[in-house]
Amino acid sequence: MVCITDVRLTTVNTPRRTGAVCGHVLVELLTEDPGLVGLGEMSDLQHLPRFHFDVGELERTLRELLTGRDVLAITEINALLEENFPQAGYIYDKSRAIRCGVDIAVWDLAAKSLGVPVHDLLGGAVRDSVPIAYPIFRQRRPEDVERSLATVAERLAEGQSCFRVYVGRDLELDETFLRAARDRFGDTITIKSLDFSNLLDAKAACRFVDRVLDVGFDLVEAPAPDHDVRGLAFARARMPVPVSEHVYGYRWALDLVAADAVDVFNVSVIAIGGITAARRVFAIAEAAGKPCLVGTTQELSIGTAAAAHVAMAMPAVTLPSDPVGPLLYTADVVTEPVRYVDGRLLVPRGHGLGMTLDPARVAACAGPLTWAGTDAQAVVDRAPAAPVTTVASPR
């Protein structure tokens, strides 16, 4: 029996290509064998509400909870995590990030102890790669449109032809970008989805979809306020394309099925609280006949590797998925980041997740979690905060 002997948490901060800086917590579960360490990741913690937990106290708490636990007792450990860090019914609550980071590390450690990849523990791979959609973040200013078009051109040149587009902040700019993208790139690009991120009510989202329907897109995501199951059902009944929504709790998954409110489940390992929790939601989706995609908050390579193993093993994952964090960040923490080829995420090779920390890269990113340099709107739009204008005091 292999047991956990200690827990180590390391905070890192990594900038995105957009300039936004995101904080993460690396999780290491140690054993008596120095070469047998489970890796996990509490990913992209720069989400509302705008606070961070006490990492030192959390490390002490997890050490108390996990030391001495059998690494193969995954169900027992997950129940312990849910008891101490319960689901809050919100997609970006801090508890789910804690559960996720530890749960990923437990799966990594369990698979390593058996000498197999994580996807083998999940039932075996049913595919060896999954298509991904590169995100185009919201247009907030007129100059953002040309910048976003340039991003599409850059990614297209790299073999990435599928995109998802965040909308809902400035609908005029959103429409300008969508039409310009289609005019400039034609059918060489696929717009997988328009992601409203729960910013609009269902009627407003429907009106916008009608306005831009001729542009061509495959899905509409989150076209109603958070927890508005009636709004989602309204949108699904009126929109000519499938409706997708993030599933961030078991109760929410059951509510969506009971109301038949969506066509597609967006299941993110980080948003639901780990691999164990994601498996349960995929089971609900399969029973309800709902196709799925693997969502993201945009993880580093450890979190993305976890998403990749899940995507490879879940038959319900039939749509282009979203984990592209390693392509968005300008830094990572592992020796060999996850790989993308021709717009597809490959499953990492090796035992466990197939990831190894690079001490030099970790040291270069290490630092306390901070909310400096951002604001609430920038957090939602995944962009740097607007510059602060200082008004001189009258003399």
* DSSP SS3 for 339: coil
What are the φ/ψ torsions at residue 339 (nearest 5 degrees)?
-115, 145
CA distance 372 to 376: 11
CA distance 97 to 80: 15
**Catalytic residue of the set 90, 134, 166, 340:** 166
Tokens of 146: 């040309």
**Catalytic residue of the set 92, 134, 329, 340:** 92
- Which residues are bridge partners to 200 per DSSP? none
| Residue 122 CB-half CA count within 13 A | 30
Q: Cβ distance 142 to 173 under 8 Å? A: yes
Polymer length in residues for the chain: 395
Q: Which residue has the tokens 């939602």?
A: 380
Tokens of 19: 């300039």
CA distance 40 to 198: 29
In DSSP notation, 250-300 reads: HHHHHHHHHTT--SEEEE-HHHHTSHHHHHHHHHHHHHHT--EEE--S---
Tokens of 320: 């282009």
Q: Let me know if 248 is a catalytic residue.
A: no
Q: Let me know if 340 is a catalytic residue.
A: no
For residue 49, say if its preceding peptide bond is cis, omega within 30 degrees of 0.
yes
Q: Cβ distance 151 to 138 under 8 Å? A: no
187 CB neighbour count, 10 Å cutoff: 8
Tokens of 22: 């995101």
Tokens of 90: 């919100």
Residues with catalytic roles? 92, 166
